[in-house]
Amino acid sequence: MARTKMTARKCVQQRGAKKNIASKARKGGKHPPGQHVAHVKPRRRYRRKAGTTALREIRRYQRDVELLIHKLPFQRLVREIAADIYGDLRFQASAILALQEAAEAVLIDEFTMTNLCAIHAKRVTIQERDMKLVQRLRQIMTGSRIPGRGNGY
């Protein structure tokens, strides 16, 4: 489609209308005459310093005791894995809840160790190599591997 130039159009207005609007604004304002009204600037949104929100979230999640993984997706995952391995299994609700609490405890421990490795490397961001180092250290300390995670190197 060809580009066309937009031309400015002159706004035609009656002479009396412009004058009339200006006089109405002076006469019938919100404030009585004699009062000086200061111009109020709109408030700017407050911007927090970098990292403040992250620290607040860390404190909040450390204080809370509820589970972080949603229950239904975790339950579906457990049932799917169990069906692949054992066929048709039934679970009590308390058994799935115990599995979820244990899984979250393992994940929290894994990420805590990974964060310590990143801090030791003078970094604040965890990386894949930190997780691999944690796996290798755990393998050395326990003498066993967690199945399904590759060789960890």
Give the pLDDT of residue 96: 97
Give the pLDDT of residue 45: 84
Give the pLDDT of residue 22: 55
For the chain, give the secondary structure using H, E and C. CCCCCCCCCCCCCCHHHHHHHHHHHHHCCCCCCCCCCCCCCCCCCCCCCCCHHHHHHHHHHHHCCCCCCCHHHHHHHHHHHHHHHHCCCCCCHHHHHHHHHHHHHHHHHHHHHHHHHHHHCCCCCCCHHHHHHHHHHHHHHHCCCCCCCCCCC
pTM over 0.75: no
Give the pLDDT of residue 145: 66
CATH class of 67-142: mainly alpha
Residues of the chain with pLDDT under 70: 1-2, 11-34, 36-37, 145-153
Per-domain boundaries in the chain: 67-142
